[in-house]
Amino acid sequence: MTEGLKILLPLSWVYGFIMLIRNFMYDFGLLPIYRPEVPVISVGNITTGGTGKTPFVEFLLRYFLQRKIETCVVSRGYKRNTKGTQLVSDGIRLYGDAASCGDEPFQIANKFREIIVIVDEKRKRGIMYALRQFSPKVIILDDGFQHRGVARNLDILIVDSSKNLKEIPMLPAGQRREPLSGLKRADIIILNNVHQLPSEKLMNIFDGTLAPKVKMKYNAINVLSLKQAQSFPISTLKNKKCIAFCGIGNPNAFKTTLLEIGIQIVDFTVYPDHYVYSERDLLTIKDIFNLKKAEYIITTEKDAVRLQQTTIPDNFPAASCYYIDIEVNIIEGQDLLIDLLKQRIGL
């Protein structure tokens, strides 16, 4: 930890105490909890940054779509430039863009056109709007683990198991959102990147939690052209000389995915999470592409969604720019997860 972050540790202790008091008040009914008339699934995490939450939400959406169950995703729309209730998709049309809706909700809406997607910083208001206008059978509350003002039938916690939660300070000195006692609220814990941490060290993190554990990893499904909206086999990029860039919460996970594909990464540029790209950024990427004599430029799907709101310079090699489509692969515990879904949702 840097000296600057160490200075913030007293603030982290104050923040942690406030979170303990807040959780106590919800646990004992001292703060109101809204109980929607349909089942709610919360998908969240205990740290800031990327844990694989959005791909897991997409996993749930595929599950409900296959069963023809009308589903609505409600998110706060982090980093959007609007306020209040905003419809992202009514299950037919898209409204707004990544800037006005948030990149993750817009990505979900763009990828799953049959799904209703709503953003609202007040989740209760967003859910009430969804029920009033669309009558979905299931609500998925995106990034809802700490949003305790809405009751949920199933609380799913995504954990990046390559990180030891015990060693991560709370905000603002670190990335942890609340004390580790909050882990006990989870109905099920989804362990991502489980192959990167010895199992005995991993399980020590969850001492005292009774929630079942499910292990998952990312699978790169295919590669899509930024310019032509065409998909190609992932083998298209194997052994190819590429530069890569991303502005996501866990850039190392993206880099690992590229290496697993067999891509020859000659430059890897990291921008802040949810970064809004400018023309100047793309010109810099173009210069790196030319300097490294690369064959392709690779980014993530979330970054590709944000690039839709950026003016692409005429001399940018967009025809050589691709993004990776990933899906969640449950490597242990899928039957357990599905059984719990059926029990808690009742559909």
Q: pLDDT grade, residue 3 (50/70/90)? A: low
Peptide bond into 172 cis (omega under 30): yes
Point out the least confidently predicted range of 73-77, 199-203, 306-310: 199-203
Q: What mean pLDDT is predicted for residues 59-81?
A: 96
Q: Is the pLDDT of residue 229 over 60?
A: yes
pLDDT, tens only, 26-46: 999 999 999 999 999 999 999
Mean pLDDT, the chain, integer: 92
Instruction: Specify the pLDDT at position 193.
Output: 79
Among 243, 242, 222, which residue's Cα sits nearest to residue 234?
Answer: 222
Rounded to the nearest 10 degrees, the angle between the axes of helix 103-111 and helix 53-66 is 30
pTM of the full predicted structure? 0.93
SS3 label, residue 256: helix
SS3 label, residue 203: helix
Q: Is the pLDDT of residue 157 over 90?
A: yes
pLDDT, tens only, 284-328: 999 999 999 999 999 999 999 999 888 899 999 999 999 999 999
Instruction: Specify the pLDDT at position 228.
Output: 72
**Cβ neighbours of residue 282 under 8 Å, at least 6 residues apart?**
310, 312, 313, 316
- Distance separating alpha carbons of residues 347 and 344, to the nearest angstrom: 9
Q: Is the pLDDT of residue 131 over 80?
A: yes
Point out the least confidently predicted range of 67-81, 125-139, 185-199: 185-199
Q: pLDDT grade, residue 230 (50/70/90)? A: confident
**Cβ neighbours of residue 46 under 8 Å, at least 6 residues apart?**
145, 157, 159, 165, 176, 177, 178, 180, 182, 183
What DSSP line would sit under 39-108, residue for residue? -EEEEEESBSS-SSHHHHHHHHHHHHHHTT--EEEEE--TT-S--S-EEEEESS-B-S-HHHH-HHHHHH
Instruction: Specify the pLDDT at position 203.
Output: 65
Domains of the chain: 3-211 (3.40.50), 218-327 (3.40.50)
Q: What mean pLDDT is predicted for residues 201-214?
A: 78
Token pair listed for 207: 């001492």
Q: pLDDT grade, residue 199 (50/70/90)? A: low
Amino acid (one-letter) located at 346 = G
